[in-house]
Amino acid sequence: MDKFTKIKKNDTIQIQKDKNALVYAGKYINIIKEGDFDIVSEKDSVACIIHFQDEGFILMRREPVTPWQYKFKNDVKKVSGLFLTPIAGTIDNNESPQECLRRELYEETGIILGQFYKFDIQGPFFASKSTTKQFYTSVVTLNFNDYRIVNAPTDGTIIEKISKNVKVSLGDIDEIKINDLAGQLLINQLKSEFNI
């Protein structure tokens, strides 16, 4: 008996499309019943950490994240509900990951990138086994001539008004607490690329 299953070329599982049913339709997610499995259907997202190379710091967000607040509602140490996160956002219909990153940088930080700035975008990566959502990630390394800063317009939500941009010195990177997989992936990528 073999310990591991051998995968054959073109070995796929066929999903019967006619057996799925919409269980819940929301503003941001849908829940679909696919056989015995509940699938969360969400739009794809981008996540980035901004690395100001000339100045030696990164820019992240300190913001309330409602699902995380719910998860930690009984933990007195985490009840404040403000978390350090990458700059992130949902990709709109007919928007590329690059266009979304430019829009999110502008809306959340007021950073307007030069038109010739090129992203090194990784992904897409599925967020988990139970969702259709995929992340595109990028360490956005900026030098003085790559951008200009204006007042961030935000998207108008209450959460955006509460959220703040936070500078983190490269010397303090190992001291910050990251709560999400995309954020940790980006920190690890930054540390690897720049030998931090």
Q: What is the pLDDT of residues 32-53, one digit of tens each?
A: 998 888 999 999 999 999 999 9
Q: How would residue 160 be classed by pLDDT, with cut points 50, 70 and 90? A: confident
pLDDT at 176: 87
Q: Write the pLDDT tens digit of every residue in 88-120.
A: 999 999 999 999 999 999 999 999 999 999 999
User: Counting every residue, how long is the chain?
Assistant: 196
Looking at domain 43-194, which CATH architecture does it have?
Alpha-Beta Complex (3.90)
All CATH 3.90.79.10 domain ranges of the chain, comma separated, are 43-194
To 10 degrees, the CA torsion angle through 115, 43, 133, 10?
-90
Q: What are 91's two structure tokens?
A: 């990709």
Closest C-alpha to 141, from 56, 46, 44, 45: 56
pLDDT score, position 68: 76
pLDDT given for residue 80 in this prediction: 62
pTM attached to this predicted model = 0.84
